[in-house]
């Protein structure tokens, strides 16, 4: 199966802080199994939009994205989301494994825009656009569900 994946989960140091997200993967064996037995298409939507590493942390608020110093990055985040969607369309990808809680990649839960580590219901800008285009989203906390989905659909 072809799977779009947040590149920070693969150990690429693309996060705002210059780090990766490998430590957020609890079931490392299953993660390795999934990435080695499927066709993986990595992307960091934020970096793909031209944002630098490192960069200021950003969170969504009122359907926009602001950095901690209140710079509006909505356009850049939307560009990153479109880049991810373009990869999916071009390669006929219908599944994505994204990093949880990110303002771009977060699935069902994101930070609330107060930079106080408070989570609310919602999707990152990329996750939302992919969902609107019928792409099934999983994150590093739902690897078992992803594995089951692959087994049932491939």
Q: Which residue has the tokens 């991810």?
A: 84
- Compute the half-sphere exposure of residue 99: CA atoms within 13 Å on the CB side of its CA: 23
SS3 102: coil
CB-wise, 59 or 148, nearer to ligand SF4?
59
For the CB of residue 57, give the shortest distance to ligand SF4 in the complex, in Å: 10
CB-wise, 14 or 34, nearer to ligand SF4?
14
CB-wise, 113 or 151, nearer to ligand SF4?
113
For the CB of residue 71, give the shortest distance to ligand SF4 in the complex, in Å: 16
**Contact residues for 18 (Cβ-Cβ < 8 A; gap 6+):** 53, 54
CB-wise, 7 or 60, nearer to ligand SF4?
7
Q: Contact positions toward ligand SF4, by CB under 6 A?
A: 6-8, 14-15, 21, 44-46, 99, 102, 104-105
Q: Compute how many other C-beta atoms are within 10 angstroms of the C-beta atom of residue 96.
A: 28
For the CB of residue 144, give the shortest distance to ligand SF4 in the complex, in Å: 21
Residue 106: is it exposed, middle or buried by C-beta count within 10 angstroms (0-12/13-18/19+)? buried
């Amino acid at each position: 199966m072809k799977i779009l994946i947040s590149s920070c989960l693969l150990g690429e140091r693309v996060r705002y802080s210059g780090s990766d997200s490998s430590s957020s993967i609890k079931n490392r064996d299953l993660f390795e199994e999934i990435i080695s037995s499927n066709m993986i298409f990595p992307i960091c939507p934020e970096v793909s939009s031209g944002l630098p590493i490192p960069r200021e942390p950003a969170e969504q608020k009122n359907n926009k994205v602001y950095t901690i110093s209140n710079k509006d990055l909505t356009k850049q985040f939307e560009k990153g989301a479109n880049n991810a969607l373009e990869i999916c369309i071009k390669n006929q990808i219908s599944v994505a494994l994204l990093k949880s809680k990110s303002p771009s990649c977060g699935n069902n839960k994101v930070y609330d825009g107060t930079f106080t580590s408070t989570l609310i219901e919602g999707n990152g800008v990329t996750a939302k656009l992919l969902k609107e285009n019928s792409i099934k989203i999983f994150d590093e906390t739902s690897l078992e569900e992803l594995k089951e989905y692959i087994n049932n659909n491939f």
